[in-house]
Amino acid sequence: MEEKKEYLKSCFNYTGGKFKLLKQIMPLFPNDCNRFVDLFCGGSNVAINASSQKDIICIDYQEHIIDLYNTLKRLDFEEIVQRIEEIIEQFQLSNTFKYGYSKYNCDSSSGLGEYNKEPYLKLREHYNAITEKSDYKNLLFYVLTVFGFNNQIRFNKSGHYNIPVGKRDFNEKIRANLKGFIEAIKEKDIQFICQDFREIDIELVEGDFLYADPPYLISTATYNESNGWTAEDDRALLLFLDTLHSKGVKFALSNVLEHKGESNNYLIDWSQKYHVHYLNKHYQNSNYQIKDKNSKTVEVLITNFINQG
């Protein structure tokens, strides 16, 4: 019996993260490549499980994410955990890893939101008041995402983080994910770059591979509010991928063709030039030859190549 591959999980439960889809999309990637670029890397679930002969490069326009990743790569895991626990202690947030739920008169089902609400708001206010970049600010941001509602990331028009408190804290599972993530980015020497996809200054050539997981035009998430991603952005990205194809660079694009009765017709027409792999949104086995006509969301991976085994 073939051994099932185990995939590493990001330190972020990032909205739109691809961890649960890795077993479907990773086998569709090239068997080898010189450089691997994870565009719109987000939680970087794909990058930490990727391999290449040379570099693995993560690019995202969300500077808070990239700044944090560079802090995690630079510091030792033990120092990072120590600093996180100091922040938790400083703001008197819960620490069930050390003390369990009973100390806070809570249980895992009801969660820690009621206990953490006021300390979390003080932490959020403190973070938003800091203007200078630093490892301390980056770790404050990470703690906010850990204690925030559904671990979401959202900033208002003033640039202030504004997600409310969530139900969890820096527990054993989250610590384990953080440790595995840090080990992976150090071992693979992943490069983290904050850039818009239109401004990428990496000259990709034949033998390189780019994976793109942009915001989806016809779905709504915290990263795609207030016209965070427009039809113009969508078309510019598809043109960029066409340019890569003309240079012999392999690419894979994650997206949705249909969602809750709405279709991305421009993407559907564009995809006919390439290979469309239909993914099972329930994260079971994938079959790109059969399209579920009754599915409310048609999630796909579009590639300009087919693996030969």
Is the pLDDT assigned to residue 188 strictly greater than 70? yes
> What pLDDT sits at residue 160?
96
Q: Which residues contact 4 (CB under 8 A, 6 or more apart)?
A: 23
pLDDT in tens, 132-167: 999 999 999 999 999 999 988 999 989 999 999 999
For the chain, the domains span 19-61+195-303, 69-179
Paired with 191 in beta bridges are 57
Is the pLDDT assigned to residue 224 strictly greater than 50? no
| R_g over Cα of the chain | 20
Is the pLDDT assigned to residue 109 strictly greater than 90? no
- The domain defined by 19-61+195-303 carries CATH number 3.40.50.150: yes
> What pLDDT sits at residue 308?
67
Instruction: Count Cβ atoms below 10 Å from residue 53 Cβ, excluding itself.
Output: 10
Structure-token match 């993407």, residue found: 267
Of residues 13 and 9, which shows the higher confidence score? 9
State the average pLDDT over residues 41-59. Answer: 96
For CA atoms 144, 68, 175, 281, give the dihedral sign. Answer: positive
Q: What CATH homologous superfamily does 69-179 map to?
A: Adenine-specific Methyltransferase, Domain 2 (1.10.1020.10)
Is the pLDDT assigned to residue 288 strictly greater than 60? no
pLDDT in tens, 67-81: 999 999 999 999 999
Q: What are phi and psi of 252, to 5 degrees?
A: -135, 135
Rounded Cα–Cα distance for residues 266 and 292 (Å): 20
Half-sphere exposure of 190 (CA within 13 A, CB side): 31
Is the pLDDT assigned to residue 284 strictly greater than 60? no
Is the pLDDT assigned to residue 169 strictly greater than 50? yes
Rounded Cα–Cα distance for residues 297 and 291 (Å): 11
**Whole-prediction pTM value?**
0.90
> What pLDDT sits at residue 309?
57
Of residues 15 and 257, which shows the higher confidence score? 257
